[in-house]
Amino acid sequence: MNFIVAVDEDWNIGKDNDLLFHIPADMQYFKEKTMGKVVVMGEATLKSLPGGKPLPGRTNIVLSDDPAFDVQGAAVVRNMDALRQEVGKYPSDDVFVIGGASVYNQLMDACGRAYITKVKAVAPADKRINSLDGRDGWAVAHQSGVQSHDGLEFVFTIYENSNVKE
C-alpha cells in the first residue's frame, strides 16, 4: 500500500474537513498517482470530495463504522479487519490511502511508500498525521526541486518504508 497527502511543516493536513492548501500542481500529482488505482478513505474524507461522491476513474473503498452509511460507487467497510481484507483483493502497489488523519495514522506503517507534498508553511489546522521524518523504517527516496504557487513553496517527496516488503 501507499499513501498520498499534502502536509505543512508540522505535518498538519486539514482544517474544517478541507485541505490546508489548494495547489494545482499537487492536485495534478494526486490525480496522476491515483487514477486507475484503488483509493482508501474514511467517511469524512469521502464527504469532503466534490459532491461528496467517490472519485471517478478509481476503485473507492470507504471505512465507516456507521452501520447505516452506504454510498453508490464505493465499497464500504466497517472496520480495519474488513478494510485489510478488501484491499487484499488488489495489488498492494495499486492501493493509495487518501485520508483522513485517523486512517493515515492507523495504516501508515502498513504502507511501503508515501507520496508527500511538503508545503513550506505552517497553516492553522485541526487534523495532523504522524511525521515520517525520523520514523522507524521510513526514509526519503526522492525529492523534487522546490516549486511554488501563489507564494507557497513546496516539494514532492517520496518516502519508502524498509519495514514493508511488497
Per-residue pLDDT of the chain (166 residues; tens, 9 = 90+): 999 999 999 999 999 999 999 999 999 999 999 999 999 999 999 999 999 999 999 999 999 999 999 999 999 999 999 999 999 999 999 999 999 999 999 999 999 999 999 999 999 999 999 999 999 999 999 999 999 999 999 999 999 999 998 6
Q: What is the pLDDT of residue 27?
A: 97
Distance between CA 78 and CA 74 in Å, rounded?
Answer: 13
Q: What sign results for the dihedral spanned by CA atoms 141, 110, 114, 108?
A: negative
Q: What is the pLDDT of residue 165?
A: 83
Q: What is the pLDDT of residue 166?
A: 64
Write the burial class of residue 158 (CB in 10 Å: 0-12 exposed, 13-18 middle, 19+ buried). middle
Q: Any residues with CB less than 8 A from the CB of 150 and at least 6 apart, and which?
A: 23
User: Is the bond into 100 cis (omega within 30 degrees of 0)?
Assistant: yes
Q: What structural domains does the chain harbor?
A: 2-161 (3.40.430.10)
Residue 1 in contact with residue 90, Cβ under 8 Å? no
Distance between CA 71 and CA 62 in Å, rounded?
Answer: 9
- Answer yes or no: pTM beyond 0.85: yes
